[in-house]
Structure 1
Amino acid sequence: MQNLAGNIYFIAVIAVIGGALFGFDISSMSAIISTQPYLCQFNQRGFDENGRCLGPTDAVQGGITAAMPGGSWLGALVSGFLSDSYGRKRSIQIGSVIWVIGSILVCTSVNIPMLVLGRIINGFSVGICSAQVPVYISEISPPSKRGRLVGFQQWAITWGILIMYFICYGSAYMKTSAAFRVPWGIQMIPAILLFLGLCILPESPRWLAKHDRWDETTEVLTMIHGKGDPNSPFVHHELLEIREVVEFERANADVSFRELFAPKMINRTIIGVFTQIWSQLTGMNVMMYYITYVFTMAGLAGDSDTAVLLPSGINFVINVIMTVPALLWMDRWGRRPTLLVGAFLMCLWLCVNAGIFAIYSRPPLPGEFTSTAESMAVSGAPAKAIIASTYLFVASFAPTWGPVSWTYPPELYPLRLRGKAVALCTSANWAFNFALAYFVPPAFAQITWKTYVLFATFCAAMFLHVFFMFPETANKPLEEVEKIFDDTQAGAIKYIGVPAWKTKNDRTLIIKQENNEALPKEG
């Protein structure tokens, strides 16, 4: 067990179960909102001419969907205080307990207020876990593998989406409320596994150092980075860097949220916050939540409630598979190129969808669709092109903005602020997730294909923002990233005046250091 607890991949696999919880919510809502048991249980609009339940109004459905990211926004903000006070590991465990409580409420919901309350509580849990899992993994990972290991968070999200979607797909054939109660009950199991798995994992060595628990810090670094060798030069060098940063921060900084907006910190705060905001404004989570709406408009609904679910599920399979290249090569690619390529490709596919819907769509016939958000109908070759373009959009997001948006923010901040800073960044993610979840159904209803144009514009803007403002952080120790922004520390002079687009990915040097080769001389 000791060997497993010191294996960085085992640590990451356990920790990122917290990310899977978010994935479960995305796909359970996506798969369930079009099924008759759900529509009848929470019916507000009566019945159509065929006797089918019409379910909640579009505004209320947007509110139900948005309840989870609304709770996540609050959870993310609170997580910074939990993490700094109780530890990275303990805060994630608290989140897993809250998830179980929320899932019980959601599973037993008999009306919309009860469902919304349960989803807010679930969201509070996801906010904590989504903010602190990347912090925990970043602080415990070697620099050359940090992107890959934090990227597991996004991969766990995609697996959560996929697994829960097909659980919902199978449950959709039930004709009672069990069609949605079973999936919402099953989603408690991973949270229980997360809580138990974390019991055997070490705490973040940087959090331990911050609290003057130096013996434990050395023990964790030796176990994970030194492969059990207490005389490892890399561990010794890393420990010296951590100690230097802790002592510097303790002597020179007053830790509070206010410091994130001080002149020397505001630049990285803006970058970190916008990394998370832009990841939402790509439109990816909209595609996940409301994919059944898009594919219904593209003619895949058929004659049954479940006909659209299988082709929608292919979307989630692509999401899982296409995240793998980032896990393998993101640290080699670097953060900047990955974000730039992703923004360009997503902009392209959104423009394609907008163009096809604008030219080939028609208003739906009376009674053709159950939701006013399904405001366009396309058939034939254009419909197939929309489906293909949607798949390509997901394939472009999965290896780029998906994993990098979780990896990048924890790399930007000093130890004293990392927990609170990442909490702030992640809260921005959830604030925009909330707004978009609520906004998209009426947007499709009111501005139809122009919804795609809006997200394409966002992708073009994020491309420019990344190019001019986002420095490269791949393959740098967290303490070294400080020197990109902070000119008060020794050695920072080499970064002064270097614009973001000229910062480099120094992979060869860091690998040598981790292998105890060519370590820099002390002093």
Structure 2
Amino acid sequence: MGFPVLSNLPAIRQARLGNLKHRISISTADPETAVEDITIHQLVHLEKPWYRVPSRVKLYTLLFPAAIMAYATSGYDGSMMNSLQTVTYWDDYFNHPRGSLLGILSAIMPLGSICSTPLAPLLADKFGRRWGITVGSIVMIVGAIIQCESHNFAMFLISRFILGFGLTFCTTAAPSLVAELCHPKERTTITAICNTCWFIGSIIAAWVTFGTRRIESTWSWRIPSLLQMFPSIFQLATVWFLPESPRWLVSNDRPAEALEALKRYHGEGQETDLVKLEFCEIQQVIKLEKETKLTSWKSLVSTSGNRYRLFLVLCMGVFSQWSGNGLISYYLSRVMDSIGITSTNTQALVNGIINIWNWLIALTTSFFVDKIGRRPLFLVSTAGMLLVFAGWTAASAQFSNDKKDQTAIAVLALIFVYELFYCIALSPLPVAYSVEILPYGIRAKGMAVYVLSTKGAVFLNQFVNPIGLANIGWKYYLVYCVWLSVEVAIAYCFFVETKGYALEEIAVIFDGEKEAILGPIAVIEKDIEVSHKE
């Protein structure tokens, strides 16, 4: 496939330092001062932290409900479906779905997401990131209302397809808007936090259902079903208070608006040195992408660098769902049944606690991604999951023989440890890593592919999981042990580090020093005045 090998990465990093700099005049008291080279990454270190800048506080306050909450809907759904299996009125109303029926009920939502994948990037690229979020939110609100009003299994199934269909529009446009609006100093942390919001939705659903399950009517499941629309309501209420992506504005011949957005949120209302440099990079990169026509679906596979990116994006989607986490997200009650913990009250309580545990770990990791790096986190996460899942499998096999409470508790403890390793990387990083390695011209399309691979993996996984658990019990876990071994090998051989690169500069890792889209603009012709700082 023409992928760069890991041994070449130090040379590639040196190429960046030597060639991806911009000539900037440094203004000092000394008129003889020479022209120096400086990068966006170096300028970012001179910036104040976000909490000391009102404009950035406002930006992130709006981004959270407007874009980041898109992931809460998906998390809400997984936890709700997990919890509804413990609700007697839901189970009785739909005639106790098990096996393939339960599988299709969970898998139909990702199938809806797959069906809307070709449309979502077209909307985000043609009309803007905000319209992608808006359309997706409206569709999901409709789906949640139908889900609440369902009178039979088919109606409930259709409503979940509609929810999935709308979700793709949001999860394609939202990460692009977040990455393209965030200040470079916080971009990695904020984009990493995006996917952790899956757990916010999951926590809310787990505890809402834990409370409503005591209602002695169908409202015990209709209320959680209706509340699934609230993340979308928050998005609709706030997304239009945000500016459009500066990169989208430049791409659509609206550079003045793009510069104004950068000044407002990255320069505290001023055309600072960082704003000037960002704006120049964005203009030049998008101009070259248009000239080279690297903006079509075909562009995803037209160069070796893009094929490498596509491979990593597919890995992110598949790994995030095929690492065994689907057993916990959608079928925890069936897993607990298999180790003798059959009390629905206990199952619902564990579901609520485990989601809080997961979110705290994922959120904490998000703040250290830039300090630790992506590659070390991926390696620790995949290797840790493999070891713990092997122990989980062995303990489950032991329980099938001795039926001891101590063994069941050991399995439950291993599930919590497994989630620790999963959340170290595969909760915060799939979206953040995917969105940053994709250049603007194919970012929306690449994120649609990410959604496609994620939902395709969920569809197959969630359809097969209940069948495997019902037919072969703990032996089904062996499949995940083998697959996690594959994940460790791929992470070690192919996952590259992007720490310390500005969004437009990451191209050099994948395209090389000569072919990178930044190569022709290594030096910006117009000097930028920078005030001297020690």
TM-score (norm 2): 0.84
> What's the offset of the Cα at 1:492?
5.5
Q: After TM superposition, which residue ranges in structure 1, 4 or more long, deviate above 4 angstroms?
A: 2-6, 490-493, 515-519
Which residue number corresponds to residue 34 of structure 1?
Answer: 86
Structure 2 unaligned spans of 5+: 1-52, 521-527
Aligned residue for 1:173, secondary structure, equals coil
User: Is residue 435 from structure 1 mapped to residue 460 from structure 2 by the alignment?
Assistant: yes
User: Is residue 24 from structure 1 mapped to residue 51 from structure 2 by the alignment?
Assistant: no
**Structure 2 vs 1, CA of residues 480 and 284 (structure 1 numbering), >3 Å: closer, same or farther?**
same
Which residue number corresponds to residue 307 of structure 1?
Answer: 346
Matches of 1:516 and 1:114, distance apart in 2: 63
| CA offsets 1:203-262 (integer angstroms, 9 cap, x no match) | 1111111111101110111111112112x1011011111111011111111532122122
Correspondent of 2:497 among 469, 472, 492 = 472
Correspondent of 2:201 among 160, 167, 171 = 160
Which residue number corresponds to residue 292 of structure 2?
Answer: 252
Matches of 2:88 and 2:517, distance apart in 1: 64
Which residue number corresponds to residue 129 of structure 1?
Answer: 170
> What's the offset of the Cα at 1:516?
7.8
**Structure 2 vs 1, CA of residues 517 and 437 (structure 1 numbering), >3 Å: closer, same or farther?**
farther
Correspondent of 1:452 among 461, 470, 477 = 477
Which residue number corresponds to residue 376 of structure 2?
Answer: 337
Fraction of identical pairs, as percent: 26
Which residue number corresponds to residue 488 of structure 1?
Answer: 515
Higher relative contact order (CA 8 A, sep 6+): 2
Aligned residue for 1:280, secondary structure, equals coil
Aligned residue for 2:119, secondary structure, equals helix
Q: Show the 5 A alignment for 1:349-428.
A: 349-362=388-401, 378-428=403-453
**Structure 2 vs 1, CA of residues 228 and 378 (structure 1 numbering), >3 Å: closer, same or farther?**
farther
> What's the offset of the Cα at 1:6?
6.9
User: Is residue 12 from structure 1 mapped to residue 97 from structure 2 by the alignment?
Assistant: no
Contact 1:334–1:474 (Cα < 8 Å) also in 2:
yes
Matches of 1:24 and 1:517, distance apart in 2: 49
- RMSD of the TM alignment (CA)? 2.2
Instruction: Give the partner amino acid of 2:297.
Output: F
Contact 1:76–1:130 (Cα < 8 Å) also in 2:
no
| CA offsets 1:407-454 (integer angstroms, 9 cap, x no match) | 111111221111111111221111001110101001112232222222
Instruction: Give the partner amino acid of 1:9.
Output: Y
Matches of 1:378 and 1:236, distance apart in 2: 67
**Structure 2 vs 1, CA of residues 516 and 22 (structure 1 numbering), >3 Å: closer, same or farther?**
farther
Contact 2:300–2:446 (Cα < 8 Å) also in 1:
yes
Contact 1:12–1:150 (Cα < 8 Å) also in 2:
no
> What's the offset of the Cα at 1:517?
7.4
**Structure 2 vs 1, CA of residues 518 and 259 (structure 1 numbering), >3 Å: closer, same or farther?**
farther
Instruction: Give the partner amino acid of 2:126.
Output: S
> What's the offset of the Cα at 1:518?
8.3
User: Is residue 201 from structure 1 mapped to residue 201 from structure 2 by the alignment?
Assistant: no
Matches of 2:207 and 2:348, distance apart in 1: 9
Matches of 1:37 and 1:516, distance apart in 2: 68
Which residue number corresponds to residue 462 of structure 1?
Answer: 487
Matches of 1:76 and 1:281, distance apart in 2: 20
> What's the offset of the Cα at 1:309?
0.9
Contact 1:269–1:421 (Cα < 8 Å) also in 2:
yes
Matches of 1:517 and 1:181, distance apart in 2: 62
Matches of 2:532 and 2:326, distance apart in 1: 43
> What's the offset of the Cα at 1:156?
1.3
The total of aligned residue pairs comes to: 470
Matches of 2:328 and 2:191, distance apart in 1: 23
User: Is residue 323 from structure 1 mapped to residue 362 from structure 2 by the alignment?
Assistant: yes
Correspondent of 1:118 among 159, 164, 167 = 159
Instruction: Give the partner amino acid of 1:393.
Output: Y
